[in-house]
Every structure is written in C-alpha cells, then in structure tokens.
Amino acid sequence: MDNKVSASPRGSYRKFLEHLSGAGKAIGVLTSGGDAQGMNAAVRAVVRMGIYVGAKVYFIYEGYQGMVDGGSNIVEANWESVSSILQVGGTIIGSARCKAFRTREGRLKAACNLIHRGITNLCVIGGDGSLTGANIFRMEWSGLLEELAQDGKIDNEAVQKYAYLNVVGMVGSIDNDFCGTDMTIGTDSALHRIIEVIDAIMTTAQSHQRTFVLEVMGRHCGYLALVSALACGADWVFLPESPPEEGWEEQMCVKLSENRAQKKRLNIIIVAEGAIDTLNRPITSEKIKELVVTQLGYDTRVTILGHVQRGGTPSAFDRILASRMGVEAVLALLEATPETPACVVSLSGNHAVRLPLVECVQMTQEVQKAMDERRFKDAVQLRGRSFENNLNTYKRLAIKLPDDKIQKSNCNVAVINVGAPAAGMNAAVRSAVRVGIADGHKMFAVYDGFDGFAKGQIKEIRWGDVGGWTGQGGSILGTKRILPGKYLEEIATQIRTHNINAILIIGGFEAYLGLLELSAAREKHEEFCVPMVMVPATVSNNVPGSDFSIGADTALNTITDTCDRIKQSASGTKRRVFIIETMGGYCGYLANMGGLAAGADAAYIFEEPFDIRDLQSNVEHLTEKMKTTIQRGLVLRNESCSENYTTDFIYQLYSEEGRGVFDCRKNVLGHMQQGGAPSPFDRNFGTKISARAMQWITTKLKESPGKGKRFVSDDSICVLGISKRNVLFQPVAELKNETDFEHRIPKEQWWLKLRPLMKILAKYKTSYDVSDSGQLEPVRHRGGPEEPAAI
C-alpha cells in the first residue's frame, strides 16, 4: 500500500505499519520467572515483527541472570531462530530466578552488557515480579549509565546515544493473577491440562464410587481452581480469595452425601494450593481427605497436579494471544518516547490494549494485601468482574436450594439445540436448566431441534438430569438443521399444549434463521409472542451479533493439533508442502485463526478474494523458503473459499509449479472438527453465556407477571453475543442489515484485522492497520460496566 496514512470513514487518520521504522533500533527479549505455555509464541512474534520493521532483535538467555552475566547469553536472533517453536511449551530462551539483578551492582553489569550491543528496548515476558524488576531498571537507567561512564566502562558518547530505556511487558503466568488483563499467556493451556486430568479421573471415580480431591496450582490466585470447577461441575471448590464460611466442614459433607443420595457415583473437590479459611489458616488437600473419610467413610483419593499444569503444548488460544501481544509489544517499543511510561500489553475482550505497568502491578499487589488483611470481599472485587461472575455462576450451578426455598415463577421455559453439533452445547444446556430452576421456572428440553419441537418431543428436565454434562461433546438433546418455517402450526400447538412462556435456542446460523422465521410468524400465531433468545453455538463462528460462538475454540484446537502433527511429518520428509482443508462454510474464521495458531504460510478464505497471481506468489514464496533451513510448508484452505480454486486444484497447481523443489500432500480435516470433548474455553463460555441468557429471560418474564401479556416488541427476540468488550442482547430485527444471507456470514468480522499478522509472521510484505494501537489506557478493574468477554 503506497499511501501510508489514509482517511478512514470516521474522518480520523488511519495509521499503517509502514510508517513505523525500527531501523537502527535494537530490541532485547527475555522470559523471566515461572515458565508458561505460549511464551515461545510471544518470543517468535517479537523476533519476527522486530526483524520485519528493520530492527535488530537479541535473545537474552536465562532471564535477568543472562542479562547480568552477558557474553554468550545475549545473542542476535534471525528469522529462522524462532522457526518450529510455536508448538513447544515452556521457553526456548530459558528462564531463571536471579538474585544478582535485585542488587544495584547486578543492574550495573546488566546495563553495561546491553549498552555494548546497543540495546535500549526491552521486551520482558514474565509475572509481576519480573515486570517490576524491569521498571526499576528503567527508572535507574540514566544513573547507571553515568556510573558506568565514571568507571570508564563506557564513553560519554554512549551515555548520550543510549540515554533512555524503553520497557514493554507481557504477562506470562499460568495463574492468571495479573490485574488489568483478562487472560495471561499460559492460563488457557494450564486449564487444558487440568481438564484433561479431571476428565480422565472422572471415569475411574465413576467405576469405584470414589471421591477425588484435586489440588491445582495457584498460591495466591484461585483462578485455575475456580474455572476448572466451573468447567467440570465440581462439587466443592476452595480458593484463597473466597474462603469457606465457618462450619464449612459440615456443609461440605452434607452436600457430598446429598449428591450420593441422588445416585451420583462420584464427587470431585478442587483445591487451590493456596486455599485458606477465614482466619488465613491453610486448607490442605490431605485435611479435606481426612475430613471426608472420617465424617462420611467415602473411599477418597488425593491427586496433586503439580508441574503437569505448566507443561505440554500451548493451546490455540494461547498461541494466538501470545502472537498478538508480541506484535503489539514491538509496536509499543517503536512508538515509545523518553516520556512514555513502561507499559504492559494485555487483552481486554478481544482487543489488545496497552496499560501502565506500575499501576497494574500495584493493583495486583492490592489483592494480596486484601487477602492478608482478611478483606475477602474486596479481594474478589479487585480480581475483577470476570472473576466475581465466575464465582457467582459456580455457586448458582453447584448448590441447589431445597424446593421449598425456591420462589416459583409458574413459568415454563423451553431449551432447544438447532443446527450442527458444537462442543460446549451441553454445558450451555446444563447451565440454562440449573439457572432456570434456581429462578423458579419449570424447564423443558426439546429433543432433535425444530423437527422434534413440531413432533412434541418435549420433556421436563430437572436439576439432576444435567449432572456431568459439561464435559460431553456433541449435543445430548440432539440437533437438526431443519428450520421451523414448514412446521409453524405444529410448533404453535406444542407451545400451547406445554404452556411455554419463553424459549432459549442454542445453535448456529440455522438457529438465527429460525429465530427470524419465528419472529415473522408472530403476527399470525400469538404463541410465538414470548421472549426468545439465541446463544450462538457453531464451529464456524459465523453468527451475526457475536464475535465468538460456542464450539469454535474446540474446533480451532483440533485444527491446531492436527497441523502440529502434519508439520512434524513434513519436517521429517523435508521439502514437503501440506494443503489442509478446514470447515466453516463461507466463514474463514477457522482457516485464518488456525493458520495463525499453527504458523501456516498461507490461508485461503472467502472473505479475501484471491486469483491465480496470488497462488503463483505463494508458490514462489514457498520455493524461496525451501532454500533456507525451514524445509516445509503449511497452507490452509477454507472449504468454500472459492468455487473453482478447489483443494484439488490448489494441490495440483502447487505440485506442478513446485516440481523439483518441493512435493505436495493434501488433507481434508472434515467432521473431526465438530467432535471431541469441549475445550475449557467452550465449557466455560457456554456455561456463562447461557446463564446470562436465562437471567434475561427471567427479567423479561418478571416484567409481565400476568399470564396474558404478549411480547411483540423487537427487543423480546434477541441474539446474545459478545461484541468487542461487552456482552450484548441484540434484536434479530436489527441484525438483519448486518447479515450476508447468501453466504451465511456477518457483513463485518472482527478477526479480519488479524489477517496481516499471519502474513507478517510468515514473512510476507503486507499492509497492517495499527490505528487501534497506541494509546495507553487507564487501568480499570477487570471488566467494565458489563461483563468482559474473556472467560
């Protein structure tokens, strides 16, 4: 793109990457503190983005220790030094705790080592301790240089030339204990490890009617414990921020025995390693085991997950998060001036944002202070709205009040799955059923979509019926793509027969079309004048009104895992290019994000038309790549990206054009993308968004206590979705204009802005709109007025 700055529709000026140059700058990248999966993806993004803009990038091995020791610990990196590390857990440049850096002498040595290589930009990936250290270093920088000049270790010219140090941090920590950011790098992968273990333990516990006490990491933060309890429907959870009330021992035993009485064959109790009671005394997993054995006599086992949680390959979410943050960190360093305070690149909703480092660290330390002073309510609030919502949702779903304590609403609410199956649908149904019952409604399950609705396959569903549903893939209620249009009479009759006062639809684009048809039928059939809300659930992530849908994360992880294996196979054979076809209909979300997470060379999607010249340039690009040490290629193609450039056509073209340089293989992933156990993200997202939908239904029904009220306004038939940073209910009538019905996709899709990232990281010259970045934002408590999008 020649024009570096062009007018945007909003009349402001758009800023492109081309006018940010890194020429003459040197960036040092280090990982410090505890390791986390996804750190390598961040290192890769920093190195490649740095080189792309013309800067020199240096690895600083072994964290601050390497900076203090210098020598071979600080090495210039090139494009190929970060090849094949995207899928590797931990950090390839090492991490170490460093006592020397805590002293001024240590920092003096570190400054001297950086100056000799001209490094005045630091990108630090670590926890709050590592980031605080970097900030102290930045504050002392000019003083350190003067001292080095006095000692004759550097000359005065160097003092002038390297007068200030820029610092940008990224938070790599599996605990998700850093305030200001929704998700830290490594958290999602750690949840994957925990959930894999819990799923495995559940099968053995079921066989023996056992109780399992699982201890997960989190000395000061209960995020992992809380979210894994939410994602597996644990019976009880212990967190440092929210200790159990006095007399919890008895309450817990009553809860466990009630569950057994309801024919539940297993109990799962999750404990954060830093769990405490209200007097700040530790609650250990052994103590809980003893209690269960002595009070109830249940066969009880303890499993301490330990460092398994830090290991293994990073999830798709963490790879994309880390890649986005790494690119944003380089942009922040390029734009920094001597006056810019040290910042942290973080995630808010699905936006990368920059926050002042010092304030984030202070807020993180305030949580610990509140816990030490036994102000637990404050601690939960300081953790942010997302944490608080997780806690409230968990409590509502785990503990059922006795029937006589629940105020009856005398309303019947139906839950239905529509469209293709998506992992996480069952978690959404469970959550809706339990929240509905807690709100006093009678819940009805509709089996087999609108088809089953018309045939009267409708049954009341109770609290216990949905136990253990969160971890199940597919759709237990059964789902079909059939639309309600042909069966309006029959469905209206069923609504009348079962006296249904509200409908929750969980599904994909068919569910959206179905909602539109039901909305249009309101004039003819007054039965449809009830509140209706749709929760998006489809692997394609193509529902208008929401940036994310249930099931897409699980599909993305399936694609990423498969690509990892295929890349390994291609590396072994050398000079091989794989062409992989993904699902998604006309929506390129899976191909594009899968390409970013798997480190693909290209991803063909419908939203960005391509022609034979583009295919030709991709082949030339791969031919060049085969001359380097990275002798393999990976190309993703969305199933409907082009009518004529089919997977076979592209495979044949690449085979012919690459003859003698590389050979080609193709692979169609197919329906494996719809199957499998839901990922932690999808379990959680399904649980929370569905609970939110039921709250909306309850509010609507309360507005009309009488039986006679008809809901006819547009805002009584909505799609619930996440848009940017907020959870929104949007009337289907308004979403019509935002929909491309022919291709079944929204007219505007947020993830297209990330498309240049994949190209830059695959060494293509491209234009990247960086207008969104740049401003340092104030630190808010996590979330804002609305619940934040990240789970």
On whether 576 is known to bind a ligand per the annotation, the reply is yes
d(CA 589, CA 582): 10
CB atoms inside a 10 Å sphere around CB 160: 10
On whether 75 is known to bind a ligand per the annotation, the reply is no
Instruction: Tell me the HSE value of 517 on the side-chain side, using a 13 A CA sphere.
Output: 17
On whether 129 is known to bind a ligand per the annotation, the reply is yes
What is the token pair recorded at 618? 């991709």
- φ/ψ of residue 521, rounded to 5: -85, 0
On whether 173 is known to bind a ligand per the annotation, the reply is yes
3-state secondary structure of 745: strand
Run of H or E residues at 202: helix 187-208
Check 35, 69, 175, 448 and give the catalytic one.
175
- For residues 664 and 611, the answer to whether their CB atoms sit within 8 Å is no
Three-point CA angle 347, 766, 629, nearest 5°: 90
On whether 90 is known to bind a ligand per the annotation, the reply is no
On whether 98 is known to bind a ligand per the annotation, the reply is yes
d(CA 302, CA 181): 32
On whether 485 is known to bind a ligand per the annotation, the reply is no
On whether 308 is known to bind a ligand per the annotation, the reply is yes
CA-CA distances (angstroms) from residue 79 to 314, 322, 596, 791?
Answer: 21, 17, 17, 34
On whether 87 is known to bind a ligand per the annotation, the reply is no
CB atoms inside a 10 Å sphere around CB 351: 16
On whether 670 is known to bind a ligand per the annotation, the reply is no
On whether 183 is known to bind a ligand per the annotation, the reply is no
* Exposure letters 578-587 (e unless 16+ CB within 10 A, then b): bbbbbbbbbb
d(CA 367, CA 220): 9
What is the token pair recorded at 27? 């960036």
On whether 403 is known to bind a ligand per the annotation, the reply is no
- For residues 164 and 337, the answer to whether their CB atoms sit within 8 Å is no
On whether 93 is known to bind a ligand per the annotation, the reply is no
3-state secondary structure of 269: strand
On whether 613 is known to bind a ligand per the annotation, the reply is no
- For residues 48 and 761, the answer to whether their CB atoms sit within 8 Å is yes
- Strands 458-460 and 502-507 turn out to be unpaired
On whether 472 is known to bind a ligand per the annotation, the reply is no
On whether 383 is known to bind a ligand per the annotation, the reply is no
* Exposure letters 400-425 (e unless 16+ CB within 10 A, then b): beeeeeeeebebbbbbbbbbbbbbbb
On whether 583 is known to bind a ligand per the annotation, the reply is yes
On whether 22 is known to bind a ligand per the annotation, the reply is no
On whether 325 is known to bind a ligand per the annotation, the reply is no
**Catalytic site includes residue 175:** yes
- For residues 316 and 560, the answer to whether their CB atoms sit within 8 Å is yes
On whether 673 is known to bind a ligand per the annotation, the reply is yes
On whether 538 is known to bind a ligand per the annotation, the reply is yes
On whether 14 is known to bind a ligand per the annotation, the reply is no
- Strands 74-76 and 56-60 turn out to be antiparallel
On whether 481 is known to bind a ligand per the annotation, the reply is yes
On whether 217 is known to bind a ligand per the annotation, the reply is yes
- For residues 386 and 787, the answer to whether their CB atoms sit within 8 Å is yes
Give strand pairing partners of 356: 343
d(CA 44, CA 195): 27
On whether 218 is known to bind a ligand per the annotation, the reply is yes
Residue stretches of the annotated binding site for beta-D-fructose 2,6-bisphosphate: 481, 538-542, 576, 583-585, 639, 665, 671-674, 744
Residue stretches of the annotated binding site for ATP: 34, 97-98, 127-130
Residue stretches of the annotated binding site for Mg(2+): 128
Catalytic residues: 175
Residue stretches of the annotated binding site: 34, 97-98, 127-130, 173-175, 210, 217-219, 273, 301, 307-310, 481, 538-542, 576, 583-585, 639, 665, 671-674, 744
